[in-house]
Structure 1
């Protein structure tokens, strides 16, 4: 078996234009060098029943041996506040905050600290291995520690504090449960001997949700905390429990208090990586690895579910010990894209041990976009970078207990699957849960992504390259544009194209992206949607960090985790997340069809409906026998209708002029409806008894000569190449594409 993980990497930026530079950040724990080749990707799917891997080498100065080194990953989110004189103030100290721990028994964790792990000096408020609150002070080669007598409860708000009274030579901890009823009360305090006249270490950053392993303004960190922290405070006196809690409860502590060292307000600048200090010292900090913001605080009362309406109720940040936003690797190769290169899917191939029993072949994917505002074709294919990121490093195949039942077969594990199980530090997908059980809401491209590259899992990226392969096969020129560019540049990016194709699974869309497509179609643009389960989830893109997306799952839709109550608003934008259907814009309004079911057991053919014989669309079915099924062969389950499927539904916005051309409505018991389709549960909900579980092919004209053609199935793209590209799916798609590129209006429609 080919080793796909002996060398890993990522390209930055993920998307580049001709004339721009891309850098490759590589790492290997076992190899000293590899043979690098830059490739254009035509088909990334190695399935021998299909086209197979189709990669071409344009020839670049980059090609050749590249030296490798091991660049480790350092997961775990925290906030870093650079050292400042106010933090080195000698004398007494009080530290407090509200805490919502999600994994108190996961090992030693640090809540707030100005601690040097390499020297054992400073102070830290944390949780010990038994889940008990502890306050620790280290100085002059000695260490003093006090521990609360009762462990903290998981997912229960508690006020916590640590106090150094150097005049009395005592240290104290206090914890007070905010809901003390029904056995939840873990309120306790404890005291122990402490130092007198302590001196704090120099050049030591203050860290929230972790502790520093070393000195400096941006140290490596360890002992990461899992859970929420709300309103952390530092005070230069030895406060009693009531006074310290009052300080933490105050939303606006008086900045004129000369003993107030810091009072961080996480409800400010929620879309950013900044944490703001309200004290006169202005000890602002920076977040590392994108912990979750816009989270309900200890004072949230259910009066709103949008942080934008009452930010003061959303003063918590949820930190995770396995958060991963930026691998931080140094670049090993750099390359400027030649001005004459075609846009497309590209990858850096890295090979080693060729000719051995364990050859290495790994890929690092990136995208070359058409020059912004300078289309080179009348046709654009959209690279679904939002969806690729949403699924990046998905571990569901092994983490979902029902995966084999859903597939009705045994899992075949790849080297990527095994590696990901052993190396969760890569960061997982928005379908996975963190080590504390909460869902991953953010996904970024500044890390190795195993399932967005040739030879990777075929879902999404691999499936979409079958469309590229088909376009190349029929000799059709095209540009590649990307989701995040559509988000940033809007409808003007689409306007230069007579026709735009969205791929096999454009599931994740921001409002700006949806607005752009709506405007494009209203302005006469023609849209071919060759997939299923598209335009489903509402996402946000980070306002300043490229290729960083966010999803909040909420409590609706087909989902693998649910967010907490009140936390469905996107921290990047303040908009509600969840399904577009729940936000008043179901996919049927845009493309005529919308997600209704999964069918992973097998795929099926469509049967033609009478509308396919409408003389107004005779051009569409030219050369196709309407007496025969459509798509009775395919690489995904043996047919063109499968995996995830969409249906026509006038009640959800399918337009009146729509022609419902074909349907696959015999999906058997493996056709499982999406959760939003189930008002009540009954035995007739599955595809063998439910006529609403189906895949539909649809066409409708739009304004100003525009039109939409939709296939309603993820499996469609992987049926294009069957029988040497001579099949009904290929012929129908080709007929539609040629007509959509023809500027003549569609006649016979009002």
Structure 2
């Protein structure tokens, strides 16, 4: 029986919570009530060929029925200024900004406005896809008026747009000024209109940039703009377009300009959510739904690519009608995590009222909201810590690649099977997609937040990332090995303190996205004698960051290399939140090989492979790893779903990229075919023979090396490795090898660094 997974949706206020602290859940449903319970997962993979869905229900204060309401999601970013009336324009005035539109094929989009649809009052400077620049005016005593330049704008070109109104003559002037760029010449279109009337333009609402108010109390936005805005300004009096464009917002000390009502300089505070007004009125604003900063503005010269070096060249903000940081739902229930709970992979289970006690196979509706319980910093309860890859989970959150990637079926070389979650995501784009997808204007999504329902980061979901990671949790439980669970959020925010109490740290099947703090923490841990087991592949590949002032959001910039589905705009590779360069860790001089001995080599689109031991595996330094495994034995020619331990994405040892000289490649992959293809950064030009049948660089390597102070590192080199652990009731050579490594790494006996060769 199929289970409906989206009748109840929700998200937590935090992804990880230490024992003894509180987590809050925000739920939405058309159902009037929901049955809730807390579960701790052993395996979140419902695939019947593996261990299956395995969890324990933990009694808690949230057990039972709770009221539920249908809560709205309103995506779309904007800048909002909560002024007290200074921007209710009176008399003569002028307004303008630089604009770089990216989508002009839908309804009118608002640039600058103190306008309310509900009352049809105020003013708005807008773009019409057919009629160009638009000025809209409305007052209690005058019906709404709209005037247009009747000249459509071109997407992805910089314009200066402005409007002025003379109270004396009742004339309004619209200017649409295409700026020269390369072979594109300057073009100025100016239109004058008679809009005589008593224009008391006070809508009694906030001033909004990149949208306008549909209604007030509460404020609801509409008319979202897709594109960049740069240096919006408003001035008292009539100013010609050129004069307004070059107006000086900050006069010399002691002589503030009285004509400048507001001048918002987006180049100030790029790493914040504040937009600064340079006028004497200090009409500062706040950003709504996290639009993209650190983007090139109208002044970008191309001589710098780091916004910190020339912020004036990055004076734009890129707004999107489908930006989403926080759904802003009303909380439904909260949980104070008991101090005696084990750490682990947890979820809030949601069912229809009256079905709480039924078996998992006997329910028609069931949904989960995952979270992680940690022991808390400095309170370890085991010698081994498992690090959940929440940054990677977020990077893929609500991925729509299967829906919209035109080559997806050809790449995977099998018929595409869409899930109900895929279909629900297509029907509900307001949930926002992943950092692998694009906005409606075609620009890549660089933010992903956990303050929204995430359909593919939960049990019964797409069997990747979190679901695959629980196969290792299941194996630890089967082997009776004690463990704690922490997340990479703790690594990022607490540094090495998060892992230093542990003898062993295990990263899971796909720790692809790592921040600067995470990388430093793991390296410091290893160098201090810690033992690191990397169970997966495509590990430590993308440099990213959690936004310092929007901490639930992961920020990613793709750059121009790596396995990617979109590219950053020129000059937009540095992160807005931290300023650091993003893209591949390899291009920041810290390839994954330096950390764990292997790094991303290839994607496996067709059939998986297996490992064979190398001659180097006879070295006594790794005899403990291969104990019980014959030299010619195929390691992992089996596995759940994939069918082999070498699959999905694989990592390779490479001295040139930083693999330690003393690292031992104890096993390497065999059996890969034409569907195993190298990552783009692995070849300089298109040639024949790139695939896994002909290219020696397309392989998975299993690697071990010692670290200072008695530590060591072991890496499997394959995402699908953990999917082979449970085959034959856990009695197989992948399970045997993994157990050999874990038990030796947990021992008190130090590893000795080999002596350098003479």
From 368, 372, 392, give the equivalent of 1:367: 372
Tell me the residue number matched to 1:726.
731
Partner of 1:276: helix, strand, or coil? strand
Name 1:264's counterpart in structure 2. 264
User: What per-residue deviation string (whole Å, max 9, x for no partner) do you get for residues 390-435 of structure 1?
Assistant: 1110000111011111111111111110000111101110000000
For 2:215, what is the secondary structure of its paired residue?
Answer: coil
- Once the two structures are superposed, the pairs formed by residues 160-179 of structure 1 within 5 Å of their partners are 160-179=161-180
Give 2:692's aligned residue.
687
User: What is the Cα deviation at residue 67 of structure 1?
Assistant: 2.0
5 Å-filtered alignment, 1:118-157, equals: 118-130=118-130, 132-139=132-139, 140-157=141-158
1:617-636 superposed matches below 5 A: 617-636=622-641
Distance 1:265 1:333 in 2: 41
Shift of 1:88: 2.4
SS at match of 2:149: strand
| Runs of 5+ consecutive residues of structure 2 not aligned to the other structure | none
Please point out which of 677, 689, 698 is paired with 1:672. Answer: 677
- Which sits farther off after the overlay, 738-747 or 325-334? 738-747
Contact 1:636 1:642 in 2 (8 A): no
Counterpart in the other structure of 1:604: 609
Partners of 2:374 and 2:224 in 1: how far apart?
39
* TM-superposed deviation, 1:34: 2.4
Change (3 A) 1:61 1:659: same
CA distance in 2, matches of 1:343, 1:545: 26
**In 2: Cα distance, 1:184 partner to 1:35 partner:** 64
In structure 2, the CA distance between the partners of 1:513 and 1:357, relative to structure 1 (3 Å rule), is closer
The answer (yes or no) to whether the contact 1:227–1:318 under 8 Å persists in 2 is yes
Say which SS state the counterpart of residue 541 (structure 1) adopts.
Answer: strand
Query: What residue number does 1:341 align with?
Result: 341
Aligned-partner SS, 1:459:
coil
Deviations 1:345-399 (A, max 9, x none): 1111111286999911111111111211111111000010100111110000111
Conserved? CA contact 2:249–2:279, under 8 Å: no
1:489 paired with 2:488, answer no
Note the alpha carbon deviations across 1:711-737, whole angstroms, 9 max, x for none: 000001111111111111111111100
Give structure 1 regions of 4+ aligned residues with deviation exceeding 4 angstroms.
Answer: 180-186, 250-255, 353-358
Give the match for residue 594 of structure 1. Answer: 599
| Aligned counterparts of 1:478 and 1:293: Cα–Cα separation in 2 | 41
1:288-327 mapped onto 2 (5 Å cutoff): 288-327=288-327
CA offsets 1:653-702 (integer angstroms, 9 cap, x no match): 11111110111144110111000001111111111110100001000001
Asked if structure 2 preserves the Cα contact closer than 8 Å seen for 1:636 and 1:715, the reply is: no
**Once structures 1 and 2 are overlaid, which stretch shifts more, 221-230 or 134-143?**
134-143
State the secondary structure of the residue aligned to 2:465: helix
Aligned to 1:281: 281
1:37 matched to which residue of 2?
37
* 5+ residue gaps, structure 1: none
SS at match of 2:639: coil
1:174-185 paired onto structure 2 within 5 Å: 174-179=175-180, 182=183
**What is aligned with 1:451?**
456
2:24, 2:738 → 1: CA distance? 37
Which residue does 2:398 correspond to in 1? 393
Note the 1:533-552 alignment, pairs <5 A. 533-552=538-557
CA contact (8 A) 2:34 2:65 kept: yes
After superposition, residues 436-585 of structure 1 pair within 5 angstroms as 436-585=441-590
User: RMSD of the TM alignment (CA)?
Assistant: 1.6
CA distance in 2, matches of 1:540, 1:618: 39
| Partners of 1:457 and 1:469 in 2: CA distance | 18
TM-score (norm 1): 0.97
Structure 1 residue corresponding to 2:412, chosen from 407, 411, 432: 407
Residue aligned with 1:590, SS: helix
Partner SS, residue 312 of structure 1:
helix
Per-residue deviation at 1:171? Answer: 1.6
1:108 aligns with 108
Q: Structure 1 residues 342, 17: CA separation in 2 closer, same or farther (over 3 Å shift)? A: same
The farther-off stretch of 251-260 and 225-234 is 251-260
Matched residue of 1:471: which SS?
Answer: helix
Match of 1:51 in 2: 51
Query: In structure 1, how many angstroms separate the alpha carbons of the residues matched to 2:279 and 2:692?
Result: 61
Alpha carbons 1:588, 1:649 under 8 Å: kept: yes
Per-residue deviation, 1:191: 1.8
Q: 1:214 offset after TM fit, Å?
A: 2.1
> Counterparts of 1:164 and 1:344 in 2: how far apart (Å)?
63
Q: Are the counterparts in 1 of residues 85 and 204 from structure 2 also a CA contact under 8 Å?
A: no
Please state whether the residue corresponding to 2:58 is helix, strand or coil: coil
2:15 matched residue in structure 1: 14
Q: Report the count of equivalent residues.
A: 746
